[in-house]
Amino acid sequence: MNVPDDLLYSTDHEWIQRVDGSVRIGITDYAQDALGDVVFVQVPSVGTTISAGDSFSEVESTKSVSDIYAPVSGVVTAVNEALAADPAAVNSDPYGAGWLCVIEPSSPTELDQLLDSVAYRALTEG
């Protein structure tokens, strides 16, 4: 399982990358593997205000439909429009082309509640 060291992780299996005061979010390699082949991704609209812990997206696979939960509160500033045409990017490149959205955090201290790569590996291996 791929767990990049330079990212943060939620216990709900989202990854978080800090990018110039904002955060890019996607689902982890562990999550995409558990889902199976992704066939549809619903991303939030730009401008949507989300709260940490709330469902803000859905990923549909051949196995199930899964809610994606916001790891931080804030406003959506960008979404990965390419997923409409290629939802399988979530499987093939979860930490690159498979990203879901970018959020401008309203409470950056929420990032302190997230897991580093060592803690996330322990969560998924335990």
In a domain, 120, yes or no: no
Q: Domain of 66: which CATH number? A: 2.40.50.100
Using the 8-state DSSP alphabet, how is residue 3 labeled? -
Residue 10 has pLDDT above 90, yes or no: yes
pLDDT confidence of 1, banded at 50, 70, 90?
A: confident
Q: Is residue 3 part of a domain?
A: no
Q: How many domains does the chain have?
A: 1
pLDDT of res. 35: 93
Helix (H/G/I), strand (E/B), else coil: 115: strand
- Say what the pLDDT of residue 56 is: 94
In terms of Cα–Cα distance, which of 24, 26, 38 is closest to 91? Answer: 38
Residue 1 lies in a domain: no
Mean per-residue pLDDT of the chain: 95
Is position 95 within any domain? yes
Kindly state whether residue 59 falls inside one of the protein's structural domains: yes
Residue 126: pLDDT above 90? no
| Residue 116 in domain | no
pLDDT of residue 101: 97
Could you list the residue range(s) of the whole structural domain that residue 59 is in?
Answer: 8-108
Q: Is residue 121 part of a domain?
A: no
* Cα 68 to the center of its chain, rounded Å: 7
Query: pLDDT tens-digit profile of 42-72?
Result: 999 999 999 999 999 999 999 899 999 999 9
Q: What confidence tens digit (pLDDT) does each residue in 74-98 have?
A: 999 999 999 999 999 999 999 999 9
Structure tokens that stand for 94 in this block: 């979860």
- The pLDDT, as a whole number, for residue 2 is 93
pTM for this structure? Answer: 0.93
Whether 56 is covered by a domain: the verdict is yes
| pLDDT the model gives residue 32 | 96
